[in-house]
Amino acid sequence: MTFLQWLKQATQVLNGSDSPRRDAEILLGFVTGRTRTFLMAFCETALTEEELTKLDGFLKRRQAGEPIAYITGVKEFWSLKFNVSPATLIPRPDTEKLVELALEYLPKVPCEVLDLGTGTGAITIAMATERPDCLFTAIEKNEDAFELAQKNAQQIGVNNVYFLLGNWYKPIKGRKFSMIVSNPPYIEPTDIHLSQGDVRYEPRSALVSEDDGFADIKIIVHGATKHLNQYGWLLIEHGYQQGEMVRTIFKQHGFQLVETYTDYSGNERVTVGRWFKP
């Protein structure tokens, strides 16, 4: 069977996916070690029996709904390749908006940044590649995710990120930062989306938060008042329907210049506020 024949067959098998053709191309490229350009240019290349066996197994997993990123173990974010696993959320394009805004608000001089609930380390590592003059501290409570984030930093080659194991602010005690960023759990426990798509396979502890999805956001905002320097910035990613409530939480804790930005799909996604204590 050739590349082209397998792609046609796999695309039909995955017709329930949002992007069956792209899913098939990713799996074929992963198994053969070939780029998408090569697959298209040499589409009559024959697959080996070993490759067909691997592809068949991966195809069944994808057909069952398992995310492509968990099957291949990698996901691109900010034009960087990250290792992923079922212990972490899969980095999503919309989260790049958080990185983009954080870099925009970051002081132009060297400073310290805190990333809470870092997961794969995608946010903090992406920022660190853009600002090698800054020092980044990333906290993660899941040991498997913690080890994975360290591995990603090492493979990508950043040396200005330090990882700490723990829950939210506990590992840093009295330290203060010029910026705090976080993509925390913000889905309410009864949300129907938890039983749909890739989310079914992702760790609930990284997705679900009590108090209608706001419990962890409230912890982060409250703690930020103790761990931000004067005029420091807090940036939090949240659900597309949570912008108004998140802005209220920021203002209740004394944050100024509070603003919510939309993601690339036009949904409210990231709220920003500056800490100022009279």
Contact 204, 138 (CB under 8 A): no
Residue 180's CB: how many other CB atoms inside 10 A? Answer: 26
**What are the two backbone dihedrals, phi and then psi, of residue 178, each rounded to the nearest 5 degrees?**
-85, -20
- Residue 260 labeled ligand binder: no
- Residue 243 labeled ligand binder: no
First to last CA, the chain: 71
- Residue 105 labeled ligand binder: no
CA 116, 122, 123, 126 torsion-angle sign: positive
Q: What is the largest CA-CA distance in the chain?
A: 71
- Residue 120 labeled ligand binder: yes
CA distances from 43 to 1, 177, 242, 275 (A): 11, 52, 46, 56
- For the stretch 219-242, what's the b/e string if a residue is b when 16 or more beta carbons lie within 10 angstroms of its beta carbon? bbbebbeebbeeebbbbbbbbeeb
- Residue 186 labeled ligand binder: yes
- Residue 33 labeled ligand binder: no
Instruction: Name the residue among 171, 184, 163 with its Cα closest to residue 121.
Output: 163
- Residue 118 labeled ligand binder: yes
- Residue 29 labeled ligand binder: no
Spatial neighbors of 187 by CB under 8 A, at least 6 apart, are: 193, 194, 207, 208, 209, 213, 239
Spatial neighbors of 170 by CB under 8 A, at least 6 apart, are: none
What is the Cα–Cα distance from 235 to 102, expressed in whole angstroms? 7
- Residue 119 labeled ligand binder: yes
Binding residues: 117-121, 140, 168, 183-186
**Binding-site annotation, residues for S-adenosyl-L-methionine:** 117-121, 140, 168, 183
Which residues carry a binding-site annotation for substrate?
183-186
